[in-house]
Amino acid sequence: MTQSIKQSNRVLLAKLLATSVMMFLFALYVMPPLYNLFCEVTGLNGKTGGQYQATEVVVDTSRVVKVQFLATNNESMPWGFKPEVQSMEVHPGQEVEVRYLAFNPTGETMVAQAVPSVVPFKAAEYFHKTECFCFNQQPLDGGENAELPLRFIVDQDVPKQVHTITLSYTLFDITDKIELASTSP
Partner 1 sequence: MAHGPAKGITRWLYTTNHKDIGTMYLWFSFAMFLLGGVFALVIRAELFEPGLQIVEPEFFNQMTTMHGLVMVFGAVMPAFVGLANWMVPMMIGAPDMALPRMNNWSFWILPFAFAMLASTLFMEGGAPNFGWTFYAPLSTTYAPPSVTFFIFAVHIMGASSIMGAINIIATILNMRAPGMTMMKMPLFVWTWLITAYLLIAVMPVLAGVVTMMLMDIHFGTSFFDAAGGGDPVLFQHVFWFFGHPEVYIMILPAFGVVSQIIPTFARKPLFGYASMVYATSSIAFLSFIVWAHHMFTVGMPVAGELFFMYATMLIAVPTGVKVFNWVTTMFKGSMTFETPMLFSIAFVILFTIGGFSGLMLAIAPADFQYHDTYFVVAHFHYVLVPGAIFSITAAVYYWLPKWCGNMYNEVMGKTHFWMAFIGLNLTFFPMHFVGLAGMPRRIPDYALQFADFNMYASVGAFLFGAAQILFLFNVIATIRGGRKATDEVWENPEGLEWTVPSPAPYHTFSTPPDVK
From 46, 156, 167, select the one nearest 95 (Cα to Cα): 156
Q: Are strands 138-140 and 110-119 parallel, antiparallel or unpaired?
A: antiparallel
Residue 103 in contact with partner 1, rule: CB under 8 A:
no
161 touches partner 1 (CB under 8 A): no
Q: Does 5 contact partner 1 by CB under 8 A?
A: yes
Cα–Cα nearest to 118, from 164, 60, 173, 80: 164
Burial tier of 37 (Cβ tally within 10 Å: 0-12, 13-18, 19+): exposed
Tell me the C-alpha distance between 104 and 113, whole Å: 13
Q: Is 163 in the site for partner 1 (CB under 8 A)?
A: no
* CB closer to partner 1 out of 136 and 145: 136
Q: Is 166 in the site for partner 1 (CB under 8 A)?
A: no
* Sign of the alpha-carbon torsion through 31, 32, 33, 34: positive
By CB under 8 A, tell whether 59 contacts partner 1: no
Stretch that binds partner 1, among 31-39, 56-64, 80-88, 99-107 (CB under 8 A): 31-39
- Least CB distance from residue 149 to partner 1, whole Å? 20
- Output phi, psi for 166, to 5 deg: -110, 125
Among 40, 68, 94, 121, binds partner 1 (CB under 8 A): 121
Member of 12, 41, 64, 85 binding partner 1 (CB under 8 A): 12
Tell me which residues touch partner 1 (CB under 8 A): 1, 5, 8-9, 12-13, 16-17, 19-28, 31-32, 35-36, 39, 42-47, 74, 113, 115, 121-122, 170, 172-174, 177, 180-181, 184
